[in-house]
Amino acid sequence: MANDGDKDGRDMHSIQSPLSLFMGYYSGMGMFAVIFDMDGTLIDNMPVSWVVINRILKRDYGFSVPADEIKHYAGTPFASKVVKWKGKYNVDVNLETFFPEYVREELIEFKKNPKTIGGVIPFLKELKKHHVPMAVATSTTPTRARAMLEASNLLSYFSIIVTASDVTNQKPNPEIFLLAAKKLNIAPSKCVVIEDAVFGIQSGINAGMKTVALLNEYLPNAEAKKADLQINSFDDMSFEKLSKLMN
């Protein structure tokens, strides 16, 4: 991680003020933006989410999704999950009643022990220090996105949050990332997408953006390798590493 360190005894000409860093950044020294997925990328909520999903499915519909099948649903919108459940279990899950109940119960459970992905807060602080524009692009609703980011103390880092409600086409279509870039006023080629799911990585690639794959148990190695960079956690990331990726 970049660190200004102790300025005592250093040549003052080598110390850049926040304004000079800002002007240098936007004058072409390495202008780029970072667009994050949310679930499983910023916040570590996947175990809690599936406990809640299966609890509701078992209670209201008499079935649950086995652990070895969960990876097939990673990164897919709930509407797609419902379609898959219909085909596999021949059960009509009412999305209009299921999803609000899921959001309510998930938030309750998540707030008991809110977790972020390892190293993400120091990384966000470093990007903020370097005035890197940041956005969230997530396949969920605006209400849930803000609630989960707030519960994990990440909301303040993002002025731009693009959700499924803002686009017609979902990941792997690039629309959500292209809209995020437009809202950031940054060209897609100057954006880095950080994702933990197959559809998300493909969406970033389809948008013409650099992609970083956050490795996890649900992401096949072959798909992760399609990204420009693979990391185990945000402890592996830094402003310097992203700058090298973009230049």
Amino acid symbol at 188: P
For the chain, strand residue ranges (E) read 33-36, 134-138, 160-163, 191-195, 210-214, 229-231
Sheet holding 160-163, edge to edge: 160-163, 134-138, 33-36, 191-195, 210-214, 229-231
Location of structure tokens 């792997």? 172
In angstroms, rounded to a whole number, what is the distance separating the alpha carbons of residues 181 and 175?
Answer: 10
The CA R_g of the chain, rounded to the nearest whole Å, is 19
| Token digits of residue 127 | 């990007």
**Residue 60 appears among annotated catalytic residues:** no
Candidate list 6, 37, 228, 236, residue with the active-site label? 37
How many other CB atoms sit within 10 Å of the CB of residue 245?
Answer: 15
DSSP state of 130: T
The Cα–Cα gap between 102 and 99 comes to: 5
Options 39, 68, 92, 196, the catalytic residue: 39
Q: What's the CA gap between 130 and 144, in Å, rounded?
A: 29
Active-site residue, 37 included: yes
CB 86 within 8 A of CB 92: yes
Residue where the block lists tokens 């850049």: 16
Alpha-carbon 192 to chain mean position: 11
Catalytic residue numbers, as ranges: 37, 39
